[in-house]
């Protein structure tokens, strides 16, 4: 059914003057959670998109950009697929974007491939996602990209000899586990235990009790940013792992927006991430100021904000370059090799349609009475290591 509709749509597209004429509006469909436990992701995406739109007066060259939002609720692949089809067939969007969760991005891969619609992934991070459709381009990160640097740091500079791994049991968690193991072991570290925790888990105590009993030097964790990541950090402190000297290392578990709800327990946690709130650059300062001015009551930016802001940059620049005629293959070709200054630091899109960027190793400290991620080490221009280890 979808195949037939796409065929008809392609035919209609060649006849419809709105798609071909100069000044035509280019529509972007954004699929993200705007409700439920992960709703903050949708808000952060939308705010950053609106800042980008305002800074560019909503125009990509001669073309007005119109963004249409759809609420996927959370990790829900069937709904993500349905929304993608609806946006393509009914709204006739020329770009798709968004996608917080790996299973949602994977579910739209066949739809996107069939419709040849360029699709910008603002978050979903599992390394292999971009290989599931040639029309995907990603402006977030991969677990491998941020974990390699922290695993090496832990074994070499951090004085950590052995570690326990606890990850959420789905794509990015599996990537995290594999990346940590490989980098930590090759830097001389030993893994003393590992556990995969179901995505829907809210009580981490039984898992963390076993980890406490194993007495590792450190616990490495991955959980999707939001209630699960906050829950893991709190359990590490509340279950006595912290006080018994087990260090906590991770990636997105100590975002600035989550630190107030974690509280002082977060002090000393070391993470590596592609976005850090304290990054010192004029571009970042302007981004933060524009967000604050337009959305004074919303939280400070996080990875979702830069994923969406940079994703819009790809959409605007490519739309300009193609003169508003969005051909999937040409769009992706134009996105490859793009380089720009993002609020997160310098970035580029590589041949595999993933983002090359700095990785910041940070430690939670109190600065001026406020819990903050302080950068202790920056690894410049990191490419996704998974793609290099697993060539096509």
Give me the residues that bind ligand PHB (CB under 6 A), please: 100-102, 123-126, 171-172, 224-225, 252
Contact 142, 386 (CB under 8 A): yes
Token pair, residue 23, equals 């000044």
To ligand PHB, the closest distance from the beta carbon of 61 in angstroms equals 32
To ligand PHB, the closest distance from the beta carbon of 208 in angstroms equals 20
To ligand PHB, the closest distance from the beta carbon of 299 in angstroms equals 15
Between 241 and 257, name the residue whose CB sits nearer to ligand PHB.
Answer: 257
d(CA 287, CA 169): 34
Report the DSSP pairing between strands 345-349 and 355-367.
Answer: antiparallel
Contact 225, 124 (CB under 8 A): no
To ligand PHB, the closest distance from the beta carbon of 222 in angstroms equals 8
Between 118 and 250, name the residue whose CB sits nearer to ligand PHB.
Answer: 250
Between 63 and 81, name the residue whose CB sits nearer to ligand PHB.
Answer: 81
To ligand PHB, the closest distance from the beta carbon of 270 in angstroms equals 17
- DSSP state, residue 22: T
To ligand PHB, the closest distance from the beta carbon of 19 in angstroms equals 32
Residue 21, SS3 per DSSP:
coil
Query: Could you tell me if residue 118 is left (phi over 0), alpha (psi between -120 and 50 degrees) or otherwise beta?
Result: beta
Contact 226, 44 (CB under 8 A): no
Between 6 and 125, name the residue whose CB sits nearer to ligand PHB.
Answer: 125
Nearest 10 degrees: Cα torsion 373, 376, 379, 385? -60
Among 79, 63, 54, 4, CA closest to 28? 63
Between 197 and 212, name the residue whose CB sits nearer to ligand PHB.
Answer: 197
Half-sphere exposure of 91 (CA within 13 A, CB side): 22
Token pair, residue 307, equals 């994923």
To ligand PHB, the closest distance from the beta carbon of 102 in angstroms equals 4
Report the DSSP pairing between strands 162-168 and 370-382.
Answer: unpaired
Handedness of CA 44, 359, 311, 278 (dihedral sign): positive
Between 226 and 343, name the residue whose CB sits nearer to ligand PHB.
Answer: 226
Query: Could you tell me if residue 66 is left (phi over 0), alpha (psi between -120 and 50 degrees) or otherwise beta?
Result: beta
To ligand PHB, the closest distance from the beta carbon of 100 in angstroms equals 5
């Amino acid at each position: 059914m979808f195949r037939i509709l796409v065929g008809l749509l392609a035919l209609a597209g060649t006849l419809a003057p709105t798609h071909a004429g100069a000044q035509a509006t280019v529509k972007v469909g954004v699929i993200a959670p705007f409700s439920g436990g992960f709703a903050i992701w949708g808000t952060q995406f939308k705010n950053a998109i609106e800042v980008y739109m305002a800074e560019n007066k909503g125009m990509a060259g001669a073309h007005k950009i119109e963004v249409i939002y759809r609420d996927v609720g959370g990790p829900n692949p069937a709904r993500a697929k349905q929304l993608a089809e609806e946006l393509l067939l009914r709204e006739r969007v020329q770009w798709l974007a968004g996608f917080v969760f790996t299973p949602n991005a994977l579910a739209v891969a066949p739809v996107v491939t069939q419709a040849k619609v360029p699709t910008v992934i603002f978050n979903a991070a599992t390394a292999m996602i971009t290989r599931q459709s040639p029309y995907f381009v990603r402006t977030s990160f991969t677990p491998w990209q941020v974990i390699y640097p922290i695993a090496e740091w832990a074994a070499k500079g951090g004085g950590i000899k052995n570690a326990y791994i606890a990850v959420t049991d789905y794509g990015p968690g599996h990537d995290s586990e594999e990346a940590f193991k490989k980098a930590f072991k090759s830097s001389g570290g030993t893994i003393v235990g590992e556990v995969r925790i179901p995505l829907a888990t809210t009580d981490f105590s039984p898992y963390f009790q076993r980890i406490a009993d194993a007495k590792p030097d450190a616990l490495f964790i991955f959980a999707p940013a939001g209630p699960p990541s906050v829950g893991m950090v709190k359990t590490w402190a509340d279950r006595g792992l912290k006080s018994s000297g087990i260090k906590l290392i991770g990636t997105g578990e100590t975002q600035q927006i989550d630190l107030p709800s974690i509280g002082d327990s977060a002090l000393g946690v070391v993470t590596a991430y592609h976005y850090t709130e304290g990054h010192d650059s004029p571009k970042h300062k302007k981004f933060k100021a524009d967000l604050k001015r337009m959305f004074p009551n919303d939280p400070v930016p996080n990875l979702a904000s830069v994923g969406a802001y940079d994703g819009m940059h790809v959409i605007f620049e490519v739309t300009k370059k193609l003169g508003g005629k969005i051909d999937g293959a040409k769009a992706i070709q134009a996105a490859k090799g793009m380089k720009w200054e993002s609020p997160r630091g310098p970035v580029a899109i590589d041949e595999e349609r993933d983002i090359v960027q700095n990785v910041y190793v940070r430690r939670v400290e109190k600065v001026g009475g406020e819990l903050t991620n302080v950068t202790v080490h920056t690894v410049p221009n990191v490419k996704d290591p998974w793609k290099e280890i697993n060539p096509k």
